[in-house]
Amino acid sequence: MNYWLMKSEPYEFSIDDLKRVTTEPWSGVRNYLARNYLRQMAVGDKAFFYHSSCEEPGIVGIMTIAKAAYPDATAGLEAERWSSVDVRFEQKFSRAITLTELKKHAELANFTLLQRGNRLSIMPVSTEQWTFINGLA
């Protein structure tokens, strides 16, 4: 099983939205590296839900991959080029683990999310990073 982090702007789709609908297609990814990560996901993989472009960017909960990659219908004629997965709500943290807080921990110095200039909306998380961040929640 692998671990991931997936970003969403809460104004568009938040952890509370996911909790309400339980399962949702994660679509609209239009970056090849992020798409390749989507295609590597397997049912049962876990992912952090990250709120971006908002007052308090940070990790707000956990979801499970419920369906492996399939063509992204929101890409229209290019659906075959892009991919979606289905995600299922698992847990909302009692508090957000903010980006500011994540930056304070030396254990996360190599975390992709914190790398300068990183803009990927989907990225892998190591087992060590996953365990450490869970311990902060």
Partner DNA sequence: GCCAACGTTGGC
For DNA, the binding residues (CB under 7 A) are 7, 9, 30-33, 52-54, 57, 99-100, 116-121
Nearer to DNA (CB atom), residue 23 or residue 31 = 31
Distance in Å, CB of 68 to DNA, minimum = 22
Angle made by CA atoms 44, 136, 36, in degrees to the nearest 5: 35
Nearest-angstrom CA–CA distance, 56 and 53: 8
Nearer to DNA, 23 or 36 (CB): 36
Q: Smallest Cα–Cα separation from 6: which of 56, 65, 54?
A: 65
CB of 122 to DNA, least distance (A): 9
Query: Could you tell me the smallest distance in angstroms from the CB atom of residue 59 to DNA?
Result: 10
- Smaller CB separation from DNA, 21 or 33: 33
User: Which residues does 29 contact at the CB level (< 8 Å), separation at least 6?
Assistant: 35, 38, 72, 82, 83, 84, 121, 122
Residue placing its CB nearer to DNA in the complex, 44 or 118: 118
CB of 56 to DNA, least distance (A): 9
How far apart are the C-alpha atoms of 132 and 116, rounded to whole Å? 21
